[in-house]
Amino acid sequence: MSDKQRTIKKAVHFHGRGLHTGNDTTLTFKPAPENYGIRFVRVDLDGHPEIPATVEYVRQNTTIDSLRGTTIAVGEAEVHTVEHVLAAAVGLQIDNLRVEINANEPPIGDGSAMPFVHKLIEAGIEEQNEDREYVVVEEPVSYRDEKRGIEFAALPTDDYRVTVMIDYKNPALGSQHSGLFSMEREFVTEFAPARTFCFLHEVESLIDQGLIKGGDLDSAIVIVDRKLEKNELKELKRKLEIKEDIELGDSGILNNKTLRFKNEPCRHKLLDLLGDLALVGVPIKAQILAARPGHQSNIEFARMLHNIYKKQRLTKRYSDVTKKGIIFDINAIKKILPHRYPFLLVDGIIEFEPEKRIVGIKNVTGNEQFFEGHFPERPVMPGVLIVEAMAQTGGIMLLKDDEEVENKLVFFMGMDSVKFRKPVVPGDQLVMELTMLKARRSTFRMAGKAYVKGELVCEAEMMAAVVEK
């Protein structure tokens, strides 16, 4: 992979019908500046709202079930079924792209990513000056949905590889697997042409739900998994508003349509996964293994990778030195918190999930200023300072990669259920774990626990507000 960001050279257009909505849509790919990312722009709506293609903007429980496609939205502006467009951009390693669209769903084309790939290649691809940012998987990451038999794993590697297995426990399809190991050599020829597919019984259900209004037998592979009588075939033809005859055939594919690849359904699942994982927001360096993936699980895994990226970005932003077991050392903490001696009470951050969970440490020494007056004959760390140390740790948890901490302050508004279990004395290492309970705009509620040698010494719930300096 090139380490420079890329965009396209000129604008290109593509017209067609949306798969589920049936809306006539014109989609325009346009060049975008560095660090713009991929954004969909609803040019048919007032103000031309832009929707960044990242997991924060994924909307589930929409009119189009998230099992059938991925929807992103800002306010009332939605774009459904974005995964094929995103897969085309990822496959061609395009980082910055403005996707203008005059309806709420891209054209389905032939059900693959190939129409978009052709258009992007026609537009030409050019390298930009800014370096790429990546999410780098440094240790195994896993996700599992036991109920649906779905499993994901991301393993460390220096490039981007994806392996997919599907098993519908249906004799009409069976088990399949496929793997992409080189985006440059394999994507355009081996995966972009793979078309979407569904089972015959699903077609009937989707029609009844008011979906696939733009679908036809040229935009999907329909796998025959049940017999239909002649009158049922006629009714299906009427509902799909198609002129050609429909026959079950004997190949297992409606109308005996020829597959482009023996394992085309599995390749399309891999294509969908590439598109959904594009919502991480940056290129990925990992080996992705996926068993029975679907859009919902793809998005959940993309969220996990996106959180890793946010953590890596913040760590890189504030830490000059990488130390084993330390995410933020004292020098990084001084860049984040305004506190200074003798009131800086966090020495290091050892675990960090932005806006979710954090673990900090405070090494309590006999040189602490407060020991001079707080039971000098039997020095004990004041309980209010233990709570303050937890609060400072919690303040670091509120870091956002799109905000400048220099312009922000964290004020604590209240504390509940404060309990002190054991004294903290010189020589102890205070380990403070904070978890987010509730986040609402600029106010937050978090639960904190402090431990010494694995034993709970203090706990509290705290409310905080982030304010401008």
The alpha helices in 257-408, defined as continuous H runs, are: 264-277, 295-318, 330-336, 383-397
Contact 157, 136 (CB under 8 A): no
Is 306 a residue of the active site? no
Whats the size of the chain, residue-wise?
A: 469
Is 374 a residue of the active site? yes
H or E stretch covering 143: strand 141-145
Alpha carbons within 13 angstroms on the beta-carbon side of residue 209 total 15
H or E stretch covering 430: strand 429-440
Q: How many angstroms separate the CA atoms of 25 and 99, rounded?
A: 12
Residue 454, both tokens: 């694995």
Peptide bond into 140 cis (omega under 30): no
User: Residues with Cβ < 8 Å from 465, sequence gap 6 or more?
Assistant: 410, 411, 413, 442, 443, 444
Residue 287, both tokens: 């080996």
Sheet containing 97-101: which strands, arranged edge to edge? Answer: 12-17, 24-31, 97-101, 38-42, 50-52
Tell how strand 221-223 and strand 197-199 pair up. parallel
Identity of the residue numbered 264: E
Contact 225, 172 (CB under 8 A): yes
Q: How many angstroms separate the CA atoms of 31 and 96, rounded?
A: 7
Catalytic residue among 80, 84, 295, 306, which? 295
H or E stretch covering 409: strand 408-420
Q: Among all residues, which ones are annotated catalytic?
A: 295, 374
